[in-house]
């Protein structure tokens, strides 16, 4: 058996996709220092990673044939239809299912589920989520413009952020968007926007409950030391200032602890603290309506079938608090709505070895999907068809001129050939929306499987479009 590493692969020659599936479980336990440091459990939602071929939901390996599927379609067949590579592939049914899980979880409560557009701003996906009834949480004026074009009702959106600009606040005030107050200067700017537009603005106070979300420091936001949110000790000052401004109406409190959270008791702890703030603010004479607990629910990036909290677990942990205080619950899920609904589909450029290290070089890169390079995040990698080649340990890397350009490290995979398909899973959130043109790689095309058919939902960017920004200078 030919290997590229020179290491023995005795006993592994009959590698099928199944063996590769088992082998990958070995490699995921090695993926230390990831964003998604979950508490590992033996059983869980592993059903979703292997389902009956052609009959499953989202991305899964066909139980009978070892091919990778997106809903009813083989990803291998899709690759041969699609001219571009790499490309993002989405399962609309999976995203719709994730949203439906939130709707189901919220039954019996007054609620406003707001999709966090920063996770994925594909216009088609935004339009479909707006049509499904979602609200939106926005972090820039451009997100707000796109959200309203996509059909989100501005009154069911929230503008968030620690550095909102005057034009963004004026646009939000004009449109009737709810605005989070993040600091003293932010409050001043919001009041100025209200006066300039002559509109009454509904505002929420972003409070840091100072609960540790136990996640990577880059995505932890709810601690007292965070750059987001007001100084809690200064809350009375904020209330007095709001009281002085007749165009501002304080309608709620907001907290966002962080992202990739895997324990619901963290949300509960924060909600209990927020509840005390609600009581205190009401005692000051304000009619608060909203408790916004932000987003942050993690997903099983490891594909080990971990038991992670579901939307129902999350909502049920705060249900009594919300009911008791007669509040409307606002949630802002991004990742848990869209991450599992996409994979980045790449083509193998070649396989090489440098002494003891093996590499699969693919056409996707840190420019297409930066989470592994930026956060050391683990995203599961899988070949699109079954292979009977030796399983070896590979780093899966892109063509960018940086050693930090990798999609996965120490992955046990069957040895692919040039031109084979290889996907990076769970790419629906913070992947395309964080893509760049580094090394002049153009942002990739996006395709979606919807009820059994494939449609293009974004064109690949072109060099001509890039050159256009220099025209006439
Ligand atoms: N609400 C607020 C105020 C947020 O800051 C965020 C995300 C969300 C909602 C949505 O959180 P989610 O449900 O998606 O966890 N680029 C990082 C994630 C940054 C998240 C920033 N805030 C990553 O790739 O993991």
Q: Quick check: is 401 catalytic? A: yes
**294-337: pLDDT as tens digits:** 998 999 999 998 888 899 999 999 999 999 999 999 999 999 99
Domain extent at residue 296: 160-333
With pLDDT > 70 as the criterion, what percentage of the chain qualifies?
90
| Cα–Cα distance for residue pair 9/442, rounded to 1 Å | 38
What's the whole-number average pLDDT of the chain?
89
Q: Which residues contact 351 (CB under 8 A, 6 or more apart)?
A: 4, 358, 359, 360, 361, 394, 415, 416, 417, 418
Tokens representing 252 are 């709620």
Asked if residue 27 belongs to a domain, the reply is no
Q: What is the largest CA-CA distance in the chain?
A: 79
Q: What is the DSSP string of 124-189?
A: HHHHHHHHTT-EEEESSHHHHHHHHHHT--GGGEEE--SS--HHHHHHHHHHT-EEEE-SHHHHHH
Tokens representing 23 are 């082998």
pLDDT band at 46 (very low <50, low <70, confident <90, very high): low
- CA quadruple 51, 57, 60, 62: dihedral, nearest 10: 40
- Number of domains, the chain: 2
Distance 334 CA to ligand 1 centre (A): 6
Q: Backbone phi, then psi, for 96, in 5-degree steps?
A: -60, -40
Cis geometry, peptide bond prior to residue 189 (ω within 30 degrees of 0):
no
Last residue of a domain, one of 333, 349, 382: 333
Last residue of a domain, one of 333, 353, 368: 333
The count of C-alpha atoms lying within 13 angstroms of the C-alpha of 291, restricted to the half-sphere facing its C-beta, is 31
Instruction: Quote the pLDDT of residue 345.
Output: 99
Find the catalytic residue in 15, 70, 114, 401. 401
**120-143: pLDDT as tens digits:** 999 999 999 999 999 999 999 999
Q: 14: helix, coil or strand?
A: coil
CATH number, domain with residue 197? 3.20.20.10
Asked if residue 13 belongs to a domain, the reply is no
Whether residue 324 is found in the same domain as residue 355: no
| pLDDT average, residue stretch 352-362 | 95
Identify the residues whose C-beta falls under 6 Å from ligand 1: 35, 116, 119, 137, 160, 219, 221, 256, 259, 294-297, 332-336, 371, 429-430
| Cα–Cα distance for residue pair 202/172, rounded to 1 Å | 10
CA 389 to chain CA centroid, Å, is: 34
Q: Which residues contact 1 (CB under 8 A, 6 or more apart)?
A: 9, 13, 390
**374-396: pLDDT as tens digits:** 999 999 999 999 999 999 999 99
Distance 216 CA to ligand 1 centre (A): 12
**401-420: pLDDT as tens digits:** 999 999 999 999 999 999 99
Last residue of a domain, one of 310, 333, 356: 333
Whether residue 406 is found in the same domain as residue 320: no
Distance 443 CA to ligand 1 centre (A): 21
Asked if residue 96 belongs to a domain, the reply is no
| Cα–Cα distance for residue pair 377/35, rounded to 1 Å | 5
Q: Which has more confidence, 461 or 256?
A: 461
If residue 314 lies in a helix (H) or strand (E), which one and from where to where?
helix 311-324
| Cα–Cα distance for residue pair 71/90, rounded to 1 Å | 10
């Amino acid at each position: 058996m030919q290997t590229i590493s020179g290491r023995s692969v005795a006993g592994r020659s009959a590698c099928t996709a199944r063996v590769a599936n088992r082998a990958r479980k070995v490699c995921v336990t090695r993926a230390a220092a990831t964003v998604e440091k979950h508490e590992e459990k033996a059983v869980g939602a592993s059903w979703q990673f292997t389902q009956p071929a052609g009959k499953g939901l989202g991305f899964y390996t066909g139980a009978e044939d070892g091919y990778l599927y997106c809903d009813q379609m083989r990803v291998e067949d899709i690759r041969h239809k699609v001219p571009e590579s790499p490309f993002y592939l989405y399962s609309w049914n999976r995203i719709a299912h994730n949203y439906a899980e939130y709707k189901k979880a919220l039954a019996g409560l007054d609620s406003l589920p707001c999709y966090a557009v920063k996770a994925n701003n594909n216009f088609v996906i935004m339009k479909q989520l707006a049509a499904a009834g979602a609200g939106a949480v926005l972090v820039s004026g451009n997100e707000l413009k796109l959200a309203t074009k996509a059909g989100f009702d501005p009154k069911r959106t929230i503008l968030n952020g620690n550095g909102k600009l005057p034009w963004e606040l004026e646009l939000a005030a004009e449109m009737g968007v709810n605005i989070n107050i993040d600091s003293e200067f932010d409050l001043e700017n919001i009041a100025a926007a209200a006066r300039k537009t002559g509109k009454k603005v509904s505002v929420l106070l972003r409070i840091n409950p100072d609960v540790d979300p136990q996640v990577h420091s880059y995505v932890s936001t709810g601690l007292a030391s965070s750059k987001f949110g007001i100084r809690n000790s200064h809350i009375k000052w904020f209330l007095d200032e709001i009281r002085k401004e007749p165009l501002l109406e304080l309608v709620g409190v907001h907290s966002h602890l962080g992202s990739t959270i895997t324990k619901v008791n963290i949300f509960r702890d924060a909600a209990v603290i927020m509840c005390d703030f609600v009581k205190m603010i009401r005692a000051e004479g304000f009619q608060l309506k909203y408790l916004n607990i932000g987003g942050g629910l993690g997903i099983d990036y490891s594909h080990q079938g971990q038991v992670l909290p579901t939307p129902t677990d999350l909502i049920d942990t705060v249900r009594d608090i919300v009911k008791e205080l007669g509040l409307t619950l606002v949630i802002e899920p991004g990742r848990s709505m869209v991450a599992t609904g996409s994979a980045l589909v790449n083509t193998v450029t070649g396989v090489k070895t440098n002494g003891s290290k093996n590499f699969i070089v693919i056409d996707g890169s840190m420019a297409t999907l930066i989470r592994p390079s930026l956060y050391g995040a683990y995203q599961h990698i899988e070949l699109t068809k079954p292979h009977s080649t030796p399983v070896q340990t590979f780093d899966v890397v892109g063509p960018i001129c940086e050693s930090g350009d990798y999609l996965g490290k120490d992955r046990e995979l069957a040895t692919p050939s040039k031109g084979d398909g290889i996907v990076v899973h769970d790419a629906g959130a913070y992947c395309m929306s964080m893509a760049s043109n580094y090394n002049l790689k153009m942002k990739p095309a996006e395709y979606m499987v919807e009820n059994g058919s494939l449609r293009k939902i974004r064109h690949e960017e072109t060099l001509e479009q890039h050159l256009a920004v220099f025209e006439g200078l």
